[in-house]
Structure 1
């Protein structure tokens, strides 16, 4: 079993133009090419995972979810105040 701070190698192929772009971006970020690619890849993966359109609710939690859906919303004064504001471009 891997320890919490161990790393593994991931190898990807890129064109010369892609590598040059990645190297320029890494240099502008004042980081290594490897760190830049790792950080940006993880950020993109997080966005993809968190924005997926399918939500899975375990069967054991389904009744609680349906009950929550059927519960009338409680008034939220902060949201009511916000809804009354005019957009900044209309001021």
Structure 2
């Protein structure tokens, strides 16, 4: 199912979106949807406050207090010098 989202734009804003979508070789609707979703995902990832439902709190505490797992691939990667230092 899809729904319509209506946005009011000035003529200049519309022209900018049309130019950008043309360069991206897509239509304005697809361009705006893709860019809006990318921005929303970034905004959600940058949130500093996390809410954990009460029903999940004990499970979260068990996970947070559990000893760290050693992951061989990460251990090997951390032993290598960064590529920018080569």
**TM-score w.r.t. structure 2 length?**
0.79
Within 2, Cα distance between the matches of 1:68 and 1:42?
30
Q: Between Structure 1 and Structure 2, whose CA radius of gyration is higher?
A: 1
Q: 1:45 aligns with which of 37, 40, 43?
A: 40
Structure 1 unaligned residues grouped into runs of 5+: none
> What value does the CA root-mean-square deviation take over the aligned residues?
1.8
**Equivalences, count:** 86
Per-residue deviation, 1:30: 2.2
Structure 2 unaligned residues grouped into runs of 5+: none
- The equivalences for 1:1-91 within 5 A come to 5-8=1-4, 10-91=5-86
**Structure 1 runs (4+) greater than 6 angstroms displaced:** none
